Amino acid sequence: MSLKERQMLRRVGVLGVDGTRAFTVIALGEALASLVTLRIECRQLDGSWRTFDVLAGEAPMCVPGAGNIRFHIDYVQVKNVGQVPGVIYVVIIDDQDVEILAKVQFVEVGGIIGCGETVRDMPMRDYALTVEVGH
């Protein structure tokens, strides 16, 4: 165990009446992933692009076609809101179980990972995307 890992633990020692020692090791928290930004850019009927802020309650609407859905690099962001550094992840999959975006990274407390820079085809139907974040 590294010094950094030992510093993240607190030892509580108990000396038993028969001379034995028992220790309980208690973690001082955990990394917690929180989705802080989720935006998507969609092609509109007039050919322009519109950005939708999904976390603000906006429902994305796109014209079907090739490359008509875009995620820019800062459009999906996950923050470590926990008490210790740790590995957090974000994955976006579509309704056909195709992975669109994914990132796994060690993140310091308060740190943010972002992923994006992908373009997707909008099918000729309503299109469901699922976002998973975790730690």
Which pLDDT does position 15 carry in this prediction?
54
Q: Which residues of the chain have pLDDT under 50?
A: none
| Other CB atoms within 10 Å distance of the CB of residue 33 | 21
pLDDT tens, 38-51? Answer: 999 999 999 999 99
DSSP conformation class of 17: T
pLDDT of residue 30: 82
Q: Residue 20: its pLDDT value, please?
A: 61
pLDDT at 47: 95
Q: What is the 3-state secondary structure (H, E, C) of 69-122?
A: EEECCCCEEEEECCCCCEEEEEEEEECCCCEEEEEEEEECCCCEEEECCEEEEE
